[in-house]
Amino acid sequence: MNAQRYLAFSLLALALLFIAWFAPDTHALTGFLVFATPPILLAVAALRGWRRAGFVSAIFALLWFSHGVMTAYSAPQARGWAIAEFVLALVIVHAACLPGIRAYQTRRRAR
């Protein structure tokens, strides 16, 4: 699996997490628009080959990570969802950094 697909699948997993998390809420539509739409759009951008999709996803992942940690500490009833959120945020950062890591390793082996 290439890095763009790995990134896209990670983003879609996060979007599905948000959809499942906010579905029983009274303001589910707002939750979908605020939380689920950005990872879906970034996944589509990654699959279509947008070169900055990884960078933008990593920036958003910092926000998702912070939100997940904050929610895990402050809302015990949502701790499972929050832990899944910040783990997926770390996976997204890894997926976004993977092309750079591979390029560095290739350059290092060539020396």
Helix, strand, coil abundance in the chain, percent, nearest 5 = 85, 0, 15
Return the DSSP state at 33.
Answer: I
pLDDT in tens, 6-38: 999 999 999 999 999 999 988 889 989 999 999
What's the whole-model pTM score? 0.93
- How many Å is the Cα radius of gyration of the chain? 15
The tokens for 94 are 């890894």
- Predicted local distance difference test score (pLDDT) of residue 31: 87
Instruction: State which H helix or E strand residue 15 sits in.
Output: helix 3-22
- Predicted local distance difference test score (pLDDT) of residue 73: 96
